[in-house]
Amino acid sequence: MRTHSLFAALALLALAGCANDPAPNEQLRLSEQALAQAKAVGATDEVAELKMAEAKMARAQVNMSHEAYRDARMRAEQAELDARLAEARVLTSKSKEQLDLLQSRVNRLRKQLGEQP
C-alpha cells in the first residue's frame, strides 16, 4: 500500500513538473504591437511610460532566453499596459492641444463679433 502511495505522489510531482508555464509568444507579440502603436501615435523616449514599457519588454525577452516563462509573461503584460498608457497620454495631449487651439479660435471669433457695429 505504501508503494502505491509513493508511486501516486511521484506521478503527481511528475505531472506538476510538466505543467510549467508555456512560452508567452502571443503575449510578447501583443506587447510588441502595443509598443509599435504607441510610437506610431507619437510617443517618444521622453514619455516615461514608453521608456518603462521598453525596459520591461527587454526584461521579458531576457526572461524568455532563460526560459523563465512566467516572469516573461508578467513583464510582457506590464510592458503592454505601459505602452498603452503611453499611447493614451500622447493622444490625450494631442487632443488637449487641439481643444486649446479651437478654444482660442472661438474666443477670437467672439471678440471679432463683439467689436462689429
Each residue's pLDDT tens digit in the chain (117 positions)? 566 666 666 666 555 554 578 999 999 999 999 999 999 999 999 999 999 999 999 999 999 999 999 999 999 999 999 999 999 999 999 999 999 999 999 999 999 998 655
> Cβ contacts of residue 24 below 8 Å, gap of 6+?
60, 64, 69, 72, 73, 76
* Cell output for 37: 502603436
Cα atoms in the Cβ-side hemisphere of radius 13 Å centred on 45? 1
> Cβ contacts of residue 63 below 8 Å, gap of 6+?
69, 71, 72, 75
pTM: 0.74
Domains of the chain plus CATH, in order, are 23-91 (1.20.1270.390)
